[in-house]
Structure 1
């Protein structure tokens, strides 16, 4: 009889242990919100501003509650352009029919630069935010991130004529900024693309401007040389006023005597 009592005790202990472990696993996934008696949801908004991403999450939950179809949810996201409307660049949605929990994982891109796009021979211009996937977002995106302290540093400027705002150029400029090591990127003040598609970078080194002429092409290769030049000059405690990399085979560095 004692054997059966011990066996029963051991069985109960195992069940309790399983329940405890299960609870730990569930709780490690984050809190869930009850939408109705039959549906709960768990959201991870990543780097997104809370208000627009949270609104999109509720829209997703409401749509799923009506149709119980992830396909319908994704079709609605695409057809109504929720990703653009709520600044969400990446999303993953899963549903567990056993626990009746809808998992929402959103993420938003990193803002890289403030963009000023102007018309030639005109004072007319408009502003946007260039993000790390090469897209242009409304300036509201920056304001939302700053209000939640998810963006605390100043953004450099990108200035270009409206006729040059092409997808390839956006991607090329985006990749150039992303390739910069943090030390160099922190010195980036402005990037200028002229009517001839020639690129100029303005660096701020110890409060002094340095103009870097990158020319028409080979920007990635020239960036490697620029990084080495700036790093070397910093070690020598010198500040170049002009760095001409237009011809990648002949680098010209000029200094300002006033510094």
Structure 2
């Protein structure tokens, strides 16, 4: 699917992770929460800012298009980690989506924990998906896997190989503002923060904080959104973290259940 800036109907926010090393100044290992305080750097010239970013405004669509284009032919891992915690510290749900992708294959796992899991997980529970250019194999909660044969050349963007769609869902409801640069391990990252806390598209969210870290070439390295809400009934604090890692160094696994499902499909075809 093309990058979109509208938030999903139930909630599709984004995950924790770290950023992976790659040559040419691309993402290195970075904790989205940036536990260690990075060193602030002077604001660069406008010509040095990532595409879609200026001191006056942030064009998220342009930024995410750049992110997708820069990563579409590379292997990578991206994670989305969402926690829903009551004011007394009880974790009502913890949803983790991990995607490992290269130009040919993609493997995504979703794990859901907590009694709210079915309400906040868009897939409704634990799920695994493996695909290549012609086949999609998936299973839910350990059940027998199903095989889908793509009848047309698949659009891998529909499976969000680069994380651009995940970031669009996470950041789309908010107005972002440029907030200078930070330096970590010798790498310059541009920081974006919440530009307007009076967001009409998310009226039930309070105490919003948004932090986004972008490489000079326009790759979103990490993002964190946190807020208090009554969207799900009782008040909870939602923390969603996105992280990019192992750029150009990710191996996409092929689980045994994928081979078993393909073998069963072949046997069924022969019996017909």
Per the shorter chain, which TM-score range? under 0.3
- TM-score (normalizing by structure 1): 0.25
- Quick check: which one's strand share is greater? 2
Point out the structure with max Rg over C-alpha: 1
Length-normalised TM-score, structure 2: 0.24
